Structure 1
Amino acid sequence: MKAIKLSVIAGAVLLSTGAMANVVTDAGTVVVTGAKNTTVAVVDGTKTLFKTAVNPAAISAEVGTLGYGANIAWAVNDTTELQAGWAGGDPAGLFKDDISVDGTDFELDTDFSNPYLGVQMRPAANWFTVGAGVIVPDNDIKVRAPARQNETFSIQGTDYIVNGPIEGTVEHRNKLAPYLTVGFRPNINNHWGVFGELGAAYLGKADVTIKSSNTAFNEHAAQRIQDKEYATWYPIAKVGATYRF
């Protein structure tokens, strides 16, 4: 009798977790019928996730203000894809060669590295796309001006005399930069397509450092470059081609 009571108690406990398994009691015997189905579902789900990860929907090559790069996309459904990509190199030569501050031209030397993760959506199920995600920027931006000898520079009405070269650096503060883009992605055939995107990334304020023989000039020029050329939002413009599997 005691054994039967213990079996009934055990069965009641298992029945209270019916979401995990189906329990059948027969003369004090507890039979778990749902555990096998749960295990099968977990295994099938893991297989599906692995199959999706190793079988991307598309690969793309791109060039733009973030640099040259590529990305891999995985389909979530017919209108949504997850993207993982990287863009970098020296885009300054393509889009902007120098910065002009009150008549002084600073040459740009850039070495970009912008890995990113995002989602690409087609809200109307057509060519129009909306992209959003996060960039992990690691960009090396340098500015320089040719060597000067006793040359006078005027910044906002104040004159400064500088001897020798003028060099500097620009560093954005954000270590993670959220971005948003809109664009178009028409298909050429069943496999090939092209795309274009416009948007911006929130890189945060920039810290600008200028080095020359004149400390006052350095501080004023750095502030002007920061205010004039490097805002909180960095523009994104890119074009590319896509191959779909």
Structure 2
Amino acid sequence: MKFIKLSAISAAILASTAALAAEPVIVVDEADAVVYEAEPVAVAYEAEPVAVAYQAEPAYAYNADAGIVRNTTGAVFGGTKTFFQTAVNPAAVSAEVGTLGYGANIAWAMNEKTELQAGWAGGDVADLFGGDFDADDVNYDVDADFSNPYLGVQYRPAANWFTMGAGIIVPDNDIDVTANADGDFFNLDGIQYNAAQTGNLEGSLEHRNKLAPYGTIGFRPNIGNNWGVFGEIGAAYMGKTDATVRAVDPDSVVNYTDRNGNQTATTAGQVAKIAEQELEDKDWLEWFPIVKLGATYRF
């Protein structure tokens, strides 16, 4: 009889030791991924062996509603569902209007202070910054068709409404310009060229940067449980500009008075080349201003 009791006690001790050495249990349901680690609660010894009970406590948990991986180490070893849930469940969507155009973006929360953004802004926005500009003594009307996809980060350093943003724009902006004569003349490089003989001068501008870094500061207050507004100011470095200016009839003879007061002549094509060089020297919007307003819906 003593042999039977000793055997029962030994079996219970071995069972307890094996349970304590077991790997954590991962439980996955439709919303959450949770790791449970086994901890012993109580062991009873009688003449016959009895069951050993264990209570499970979560080691880490992913909150699908928050869109945040709060324990990255646990997520890596616990499985990939947390990252998948973050990717397909964005933290917010926003609509915006500003100097880059009309657009929208999607944001994913990386933690309580940081959001990753992907968006696009574009359209005909020339009127938003005046619709014209001056290059030396010539005024140009602007017709723009913008396309500005971007990827950036919004950071809340004090975990409040104040934000700092940075990222990369991939600009594909068509900027067409038309020169306006000053009365009867085009004033180029200090010389007046007969506007009627020159005809229309039309051209285009293109910024050289294919990737444009940007930085902003702004505010993003909430106005309800889900809704918020935002405003941002900053700049993007678009780089220097390449200009092209064309005359309607490049071979047309144009009379002008040179710096020595002599009457001479050139062609409309040569006048267009002078205007083109002045446009490139202007470097119009090399540092492109960013001003935007918008509304955000948070999930």
Instruction: State TM-score, norm by structure 1.
Output: 0.77
Hey, what's the Cα distance between the residues in 2 that align with 1:115 and 1:133?
11
Superposed counterparts of 1:1-245, under 5 Å: 44-145=78-179, 151-162=184-195, 163-212=198-247, 213=250, 214-228=268-282, 230-245=284-299
Paired positions, count: 208
Q: Look up the SS of the partner of 2:200 in the other structure.
A: strand
Hey, what's the Cα distance between the residues in 2 that align with 1:205 and 1:228?
9
Compute the displacement of 1:216 (Å). Answer: 3.0
Compute the displacement of 1:206 (Å). Answer: 0.7
Give, as a single letter, the amino acid of the residue that structure 2 aligns with 1:167.
Answer: E
Q: Look up the SS of the partner of 1:174 in the other structure.
A: coil
Hey, what's the Cα distance between the residues in 2 that align with 1:107 and 1:231?
15
Instruction: State TM-score, norm by structure 2.
Output: 0.64
Structure 1 unaligned segments of length 5 or more: list them. Answer: 1-32
Hey, what's the Cα distance between the residues in 2 that align with 1:173 and 1:201?
13
Deviates more, 1:215-224 or 1:137-146: 215-224
Compute the displacement of 1:42 (Å). Answer: 5.5
Deviations 1:131-168 (A, max 9, x none): 0000111111100146x8x9431123122234322110
Q: Look up the SS of the partner of 1:84 in the other structure.
A: strand
Hey, what's the Cα distance between the residues in 2 that align with 1:49 and 1:186?
27
Give, as a single letter, the amino acid of the residue that structure 2 aligns with 1:196.
Answer: G
Larger % of strand: which? 1
Hey, what's the Cα distance between the residues in 1 that align with 2:115 and 2:76?
24
Compute the displacement of 1:219 (Å). Answer: 2.5
Deviates more, 1:162-171 or 1:43-52: 43-52
Contact 1:99 1:229 in 2 (8 A): no
Structure 2 unaligned segments of length 5 or more: list them. Answer: 1-21, 27-34, 36-74, 251-267
Give, as a single letter, the amino acid of the residue that structure 1 aligns with 2:295.
Answer: A
Q: Look up the SS of the partner of 1:77 in the other structure.
A: coil
Q: What fraction of aligned residue pairs are identical, expressed as a percent?
A: 62
Hey, what's the Cα distance between the residues in 2 that align with 1:136 and 1:45?
34
Greater relative contact order (CA < 8 Å, ≥ 6 in sequence): 1
Q: Look up the SS of the partner of 1:118 in the other structure.
A: strand
